[in-house]
Structure 1
Amino acid sequence: MLAPLLSHCGRSHPDNGAPPRGQWSSSAESPAKKLPATQRPYAIDGITYYPIPSAKGFAEQGIASWYGPGFHGRKTSNGETYDMREMTAAHKTLPMDTRLLVKNLENGAQTVVRVNDRGPFIDGRIIDLSHRAARNLGIVERGTARVRIIALDERNLSLAQERPAIPASASASVAMRSKNGEMKARTVWQDYFIQIDSFERQQEARHLQRRFAGYGHAVNLYRDHDGTINVVLFVGNDADKARHERSKLVRLGYTKAKVISMAN
């Protein structure tokens, strides 16, 4: 749905409980009236997507991305309020509330998420993860990773094991009060990014991304809630370094560059 800041087309996510910013096709209009809003066909940038009625036996392999501040606090496709700190994800066609085991094929990490949104709508991506899920899978810095997703049911949900990939250098332990009043330790991560510039067209955003290919930091594209595509550079967990990098970019002529921080 930073999305990594973020990753959707047009308005990648809707601002209400309906499917994302698409137009219903007239051919599908009559049967769609009998379906819940999240199960109706929808069109994004000229492509029509048809949500499937069941996730039983579903598995898919491809590129995962993640989204956060650009959509944090807004409504997802099923009407929930998006919280980038929860273990959720966006998928183009799976039923809402489907539980998925997401395996990072590049580092062996895996985690379980719940589908509550539609997306991603950037070419080649199959799933958009919340910031927390992306952190567990170790893909926050790069922004994307090759993954395999497997739909879980009640039978195999309990067998799915979490194998997070969390770099210790990017985390800190803080005391948090639980619902029953007890104080417990919770791991918190602080990530810093620089939004270099924003574009309406994906082609222009990718052109700038290529210009920064050898800059020394991962540069990714993220789709904002209004369809704007942000070009975002990952810095790390050092606030001073983030400010320094922004100053360098401004001197290079990227006057719109700004620091964005994200914490779980």
Structure 2
Amino acid sequence: MNKQTGLILFAAIILTACGSAPLHKDEMRSTPAPVIEAQTTPLTQPKRGGYWEGDGPSANAPANLDAIPNAVPRVEPLHRFANNQYTALGKTYTPLTMLSKFKERGIASWYGKKFHGKRTASGEVYDMYGMTAAHPTLPVPSYARVTNLNNKKSVVVRVNDRGPFLRERIIDLSYVAAHKLGIVDNGSAEVLVEVESLVADSNSNIQTQPIGVADSVIVTPLTPATTLPISSESSATSSNVYLQLGAFRSQQSAESFLARMNIEFEGSGKHIELYQKNDDIVRVHSGPYPTQDEARAVAEKLQLRLGFKPFVVLH
């Protein structure tokens, strides 16, 4: 098993107000920044290292990855939907929507060409050679400084996606960011995360487009599967029994999560899809399953494998 690598992540958030217009720079300087102490994730040895099968660098990778510049922090409005509360794999996340400091300790990982070209939670296309990262609750967009305590290398990344959601990871780095930190071959490494409120340089490109308060979301309750009638053969048809993996207010966040689940379920033979009823919640479903009993059996296996238990739904 690879030796675990120590990292420290200093994340610099550039936010705008949560009201109807972005903060001006003088307002950002005068706004006190409350400190949020996140619960520390147990620092266990990473369960896997190296690349996902078929992942890693592409054949036409840039010649000098180390020369790719860091992300440059600038004032940006909060994304309208990517900062809403959401549920993924049985856990509800409430993203930060205010200028604040944040500390967290846990495991960092990276994602590569299997996600390259796919949409992120912000709607932007993921570029594995861009200095970006995904985090479950840091504001989208925001900026983070990541320093490898073992080799003292550091990078600045722009948080524009949601995740990771499995294996006690707390942040997913782009391939090039992980490469520059020296953690690509291990696949993951221990990190310490700290987010600081900063003010962009006066010469930076400040976006002034007004934004609204992040819309509140009613998260679909993760009702136990036993709320559905239990029988050896449900009256449901073979095409309408599914497992629910997540629920999002944002279509883009749901699509980003869908891409992650397609990688996680690769080779299982089960289809992962988006589903929306007559409401504004976009759900991520796996299936279909022939019967409710079979779906529940799969849910039990997923609980052992991934640490969460999806519940049965009928279309």
- TM category (shorter chain) comes to 0.3 to 0.5
Which structure has the greater CA radius of gyration? 2
Normalized per residue, the structure richer in strand is 1
Q: TM-score, normalised by structure 2?
A: 0.39
Bigger relative CO (Cα 8 Å, ≥ 6 apart):
2
TM-score, normalization: structure 1? Answer: 0.47
